[in-house]
Structure 1
Amino acid sequence: MPAALASFLAWFFRDPERLPPEDVDGWVSPADGRVVEVYPSEHPFMGRCTVVGVFMSPLDVHVNRMPVDGKVAFLEYVPGKKLMAFNPKASQENERFFMGFETGSGKGMTVQIAGFLARRIVCSRKKGDVLSRGERFGMIKLGSKVDLYLP
């Protein structure tokens, strides 16, 4: 049994290399997973924006990556509930971590959202950090959701 548990944990917390397309100037998803919602929103850091919600199942890689080249300009942790990540209310009510950044094409933001099983959000960046598209910035342990706020 210990070997099976160790194998599962190694697989679950895997961190394969991801290389975003070099010939594209656009943004990439901050997480492996499935787009579950797209909607207009507004946030004090972003102003009016579009939110793309990416649900990470327990089968997806849980490392989060920078969607575009940028400089971290805003960080905020918000405690909250532990609703199932695919619940539409999770983005507003669950524990979450905002990381806003400035890019050559405006501001952007990722929001790591904890879920029912996910009890730990990790963001390894601080204000002023300069990140490249595809660079690791954190993870959500045991699955959840990442919202991407686009200008």
Structure 2
Amino acid sequence: MKIHKEGRRILFFTLLGLIVVNLLLFRLNAQHVTFNQIFAGISVIVFLTLLQFFRSPARRLFTHEDLITAPADGKVVVIENVFEPEFFDDERKQISIFMSPINVHITRNPISGVVRYFKYHPGNYLVAWHPKSSTKNERTTVVVESEAGPLVLFRQIAGAMARRIVWYVNEGDEVSQGEEFGFIKFGSRVDIFVPLDTEVKVQLGEKVKGGQTIIAQLKTESPSLF
């Protein structure tokens, strides 16, 4: 299993700390063998859980200019028409994917194109399913002019546990569908805003995989695969 670069430092120091604490317990608290063994077992569980957060599995990516792929692993929790005030200032179709602590936390470009807008917003840490998390929480906003023409906005959103968002894109960058554009440490949510005439290919509650699951199709004159 490959470990994502964002987790290597955290994992190293966590492992080092757990080893030191356990060695000290076994040396200074030798008379309480059962307690030491229980603590060692908990330490292993903690490290393996943290290891899972930062796994980076190999992916066979799907690419097509007018098809939007899932930007993250998780579950579809929102499909609705909403007013998007930050960039479009009009109505868009929103698709939101919730990333639980057991999901892969890599975020991927849902479509190929050129980054026309990027902004980082410091903010709160409401739970990811809170209605106001999309506008109140720490987040990034990326707008890509797709190869098919329409603009697609996607947003990384921190949650109650996710306290750091990492991004790898800037305005003017050319991005490729399925490639990593960032990482949300300990999971949260990704919102996508597309034109109202976009055809959604997923349903509420459906589980998706980043870079593989087709979640929507932009309306263009290009021939469709579906």
TM-score under structure 2 normalisation? Answer: 0.62
The amino acid of 1:125's aligned partner reads V
Give deviations 1:61-94, integer Å, cap 9, x for gaps. Answer: 0000000111111111112111111112211211
Q: Where in structure 2 are the equivalents of 1:78-117 lying within 5 Å?
A: 78-103=121-146, 104-117=148-161
What is the identity, as a one-letter code, of the residue corresponding to 2:87? F
The one of 168, 171, 176 equivalent to 1:127 is 171
Query: Aligned pair 1:70/2:117, yes or no?
Result: no
Q: What is the aligned partner in structure 2 of residue 36 from structure 1? A: 77
The answer to which of 104-113 and 38-47 deviates more is 38-47
Structure of higher RCO (CA pairs closer than 8 Å, 6+ residues apart): 1
Name the structure with the higher strand share.
1
- From the CA coordinates, give the structure whose radius of gyration is larger: 2
The count of aligned residue pairs is 151
Are residues 1:19 and 2:60 paired?
Answer: yes
Looking at structure 2, the residues matched to 53 and 138 of structure 1 have their Cα atoms a distance apart, in angstroms, of 16
Q: Which amino acid aligns with 1:21?
A: F
The whole-number CA distance in structure 2 between the counterparts of 1:143 and 1:22 is 24
Contact map agreement 2:62 2:178 (CA 8 A) in 1: no
Q: Does 1:45 align with 2:87?
A: yes
- How far apart are the structure 2 equivalents of 1:130 and 1:24? 14
| Matches of 1:19 and 1:149, distance apart in 2 | 25
Query: Using the alignment, how far apart are the partners of 1:94 and 1:138 within structure 2?
Result: 17
Task: Identify unmatched segments of 5+ residues in structure 2.
Answer: 1-17, 20-42, 196-226
Which residues of structure 1 form unaligned runs of 5+?
none
Q: 2:185 aligns with which of 141, 144, 148?
A: 141
Shift, 1:21, TM fit: 2.7
TM-score, normalised to structure 1, is 0.90
Distance 1:126 1:93 in 2: 22
C-alpha RMSD of matched pairs (Å): 1.9
Q: CA deviation at 1:6?
A: 3.9
- Secondary structure class of the residue paired with 2:50: helix
Q: 1:58 is paired with a residue of what secondary structure?
A: coil
- Greater share of helix residues, 1 or 2? 2
Task: Tell me, in whole angstroms, the C-alpha distance in 2 between the residues paired with 1:11 and 1:58.
Answer: 9
